[in-house]
Amino acid sequence: MKLIDITHVVNNDTPVFPGEHKIAISQQKFLDENGYNAYVVHSNMHTGTHVDMPMHLLTDSRFAEEFSLDGFIGRGLVLDVRGEDVISMRAEYETLDFEGRIVLLYTGFDERFFDEEYFTAHPVVGEELGAFLLSKNIKMLGLDTPSPDRFPWTFHKALLEKGVFVMENAANLGALLGVGEFEVMAFPLKVAAEASVVRAVCRVI
Q: The pTM is what?
A: 0.96
Model confidence pLDDT, tens digit, residues 7-20: 999 999 999 999 99
Task: Please name the residues in contact with 100: beta carbons below 8 A apart, sequence gap of 6 or more.
Answer: 74, 75, 137, 138, 139
Mean pLDDT of 15-40: 96
Quick one: what percent of the chain has pLDDT higher than 70? 100
- Average pLDDT, stretch 161-186? 97
pLDDT at 1: 85
Q: Which CATH superfamily is domain 2-12+44-204 in?
A: Putative cyclase (3.50.30.50)
Tens of pLDDT, residues 102-153: 999 999 999 999 998 999 999 999 999 999 999 999 999 999 999 999 999 9
Coil, helix or strand for 197?
strand
State the average pLDDT over residues 180-196. Answer: 97
pLDDT in tens, 145-154: 999 999 999 9
Gap between the Cα atoms of 18 and 63, Å rounded: 24
**β-strand partners of 23:** none
